A and B are shown apart, each in its own frame.
Chain A
Amino acid sequence: MDKKMTRKEYMQWSQKEAPKTRKGKNMLMAFLIGGTICTIAQIINSFLLSAGMVQEDAGTVTTLIMIFLGAFLTGLNVYDDIGRIGGAGAAIPVTGFANSIVSPAMEYKKEGYVMGVGARMFLIAGPVLVYGIVASIICGILYYLFA
Chain B
Amino acid sequence: MVFIRAFLLGGVICVLAQILIDLTKITPARIMVIFVVTGVVLGMLGIYPRLVEWGGSGATIPIIGFGNVLAKGVIEDIEKKGLIGAFSGGVRAGAVGIASAVFFGYIMAIVSKPKIKNKS
A–B contact with Cβ pairs below 8 Å: the answer is: yes
Q: Which residues of B contact A107 (CB under 8 A)?
A: 114
Question: What's the interface size class on A, roughly?
Answer: 35 or more
CA distance A17 to B112 in the complex (A): 41
The answer on a CB contact under 8 Å between A106 and B113 is yes
The answer on a CB contact under 8 Å between B32 and A101 is no
CA distance A33 to B61 in the complex (A): 13
Q: Which residues of B contact A139 (CB under 8 A)?
A: 40-41, 44, 71, 74
Given contacts A62-B57, A76-B112, A133-B70, contact A140 B90 (CB under 8 A): yes
Given contacts A92-B32, A139-B74, contact A31 B11 (CB under 8 A): yes
Given contacts A34-B11, A75-B108, A109-B109, contact A92 B75 (CB under 8 A): no
Question: Secondary structure of the A side of the interface?
Answer: helix
Q: How far is the CB of B6 from chain A (nearest CB, A)?
A: 4
CA distance A28 to B112 in the complex (A): 32
Residue of A nearest to B64 (CB): A92
Q: Which residues of A contact B82 (CB under 8 A)?
A: 144
Contact of A101 among B63, B78, B102 (CB under 8 A): B102
CA distance A35 to B58 in the complex (A): 7
The answer on a CB contact under 8 Å between A98 and B105 is yes
Q: Which residues of A contact B105 (CB under 8 A)?
A: 71, 98, 101-102, 105, 121
The answer on a CB contact under 8 Å between A30 and B3 is no
Residue of A nearest to B87 (CB): A137
The answer on a CB contact under 8 Å between A106 and B112 is yes
Residue of B nearest to A63 (CB): B97
The answer on a CB contact under 8 Å between A71 and B101 is yes
Contact of B104 among A71, A86, A93, A133 (CB under 8 A): A71
Q: Which residues of A contact B37 (CB under 8 A)?
A: 131-132, 135
Contact of B94 among A92, A103, A127, A132 (CB under 8 A): A132
Instruction: Sample 13 A-B pairs with CB under 8 A, ordered by A number.
Output: A35-B11, A68-B100, A71-B108, A72-B108, A80-B117, A93-B10, A94-B61, A95-B61, A97-B63, A109-B109, A124-B29, A127-B32, A128-B29
Besides A95-B61, A127-B33, 5 other A-B contacts (C-beta < 8 A): A34-B15, A94-B66, A131-B36, A136-B74, A136-B89
Interface residues of A (CB under 8 A from B): 21, 23, 26-27, 30-39, 41-46, 59-60, 62-64, 66-68, 71-72, 74-77, 80, 84, 86-89, 91-98, 100-103, 105-107, 109, 117, 121, 124-125, 127-129, 131-133, 135-137, 139-144
Name the 5 nearest CB pairs between A and B, nearest first: A38-B10, A34-B14, A140-B86, A35-B11, A105-B109
